[in-house]
Structure 1
Amino acid sequence: MSRKILFISCLFICSTTFSQSDKYNLKNNPKFDSILKVKKSVDKKIFDENYYSIQVFSGGYNFGDSISNYVNEKYLGDSIYFYFETPNYKVRIGKYKSKIEAEKKLKEIKKEFKSAFVFKPSK
């Protein structure tokens, strides 16, 4: 019995001492870095042209400014856009990659802004 225990413990010790090390030497290829930079710039360009946003207000400057300030305080994590687009000032929230993300946020925003809607800005 004691020989079996000794044999099993020796096997266990030997197997752990000859196992793989946790170090891995990774060689970086400069071509990969240049391809990665190009991909990032293309992805950014595609995202800047193809995103969804939520419009919460369209109207006069004074009321739009006050809504913009309120939305800034209420939705701290989201980007808020307040700008003039003829003939009205507009308040928009966020840049979302997909319409599904925008619709999820719209449900939350609709509790306060009943007329809010999701749209995809024209290029």
Structure 2
Amino acid sequence: MKHLFVIVFFLFANFLVSQENPNLNPPQSQTQLKVQELVEKKAEYHRLTGGEQEGYRIKIHFGIDRDAAEAVREKFLLKFPDYPTDKEYQQPNFVILVGSYKSKLEAFESLRKIQGEFPNSFIVKGRIKVL
């Protein structure tokens, strides 16, 4: 009888300890709903910003001559074909911008490579496309 009492006591104690606290472990469906809500918020933010965010680019040329800007862009693409380039008109100058970097450190690493061929290039802050 004494052994039966000990066995029942341990089974009852185990049952009390194994009870789940609903506040500590929310149901999986609530977690999935929160994740889905965050995904939708991110998608909405992406739609509102046009897929752009603040970042850094490298300006390798600016001047009033369109043909000179295009020549610099072509020269750059021959030397560095892996970097994306954009030609913009920022009144009254035509500007050639290179790359899209989320941090200034990333931009600085590329700038060090580029400045060998384009010594007047520098980092500028601007809007970049997020892929």
**Please, what TM-score do these two structures have when normalized by structure 1?**
0.64
Structure 2: how far apart are the matches of 1:120 and 1:99?
9
Deviation at 1:30, TM superposition (A): 5.3
- 1:66 is matched with 71
Structure 1: how far apart are the matches of 2:38 and 2:125?
30
Structure 2: how far apart are the matches of 1:117 and 1:35?
37
Q: Judging changes above 3 Å, is the alpha-carbon distance between structure 1 residues 39 and 111 closer, same or farther for their aligned structure 2 residues?
A: same
Deviation at 1:94, TM superposition (A): 1.0
**Please, what TM-score do these two structures have when normalized by structure 2?**
0.61
After superposition, the C-alpha distances for 1:51-97 in whole angstroms (9 at most, x for unaligned) are 10100001111111111122233333322011211111110101100
The number of aligned residues is 97
SS at match of 1:102: helix
- 1:29 is matched with 32
1:53 paired to 2:57: yes
Identity %: 22
SS at match of 2:113: helix
List runs of 5+ in structure 2 lacking aligned partners: 1-28
1:92 to 82, 97, 100: 97
- 2:25 is matched with none
Let me know the Cα RMSD of the aligned residues: 2.9
After superposition, the C-alpha distances for 1:14-36 in whole angstroms (9 at most, x for unaligned) are xxxxxxxxxxxxx8935523422
Structure with higher Rg: it is 2
Q: Judging changes above 3 Å, is the alpha-carbon distance between structure 1 residues 36 and 104 closer, same or farther for their aligned structure 2 residues?
A: same
2:86 to 60, 64, 81: 81
The structure with the greater share of residues assigned to strand is 2
After superposition, the C-alpha distances for 1:98-122 in whole angstroms (9 at most, x for unaligned) are 0000011000000001100001138
List runs of 5+ in structure 1 lacking aligned partners: 1-26
The answer to which of 67-76 and 48-57 deviates more is 67-76
Deviation at 1:48, TM superposition (A): 2.3
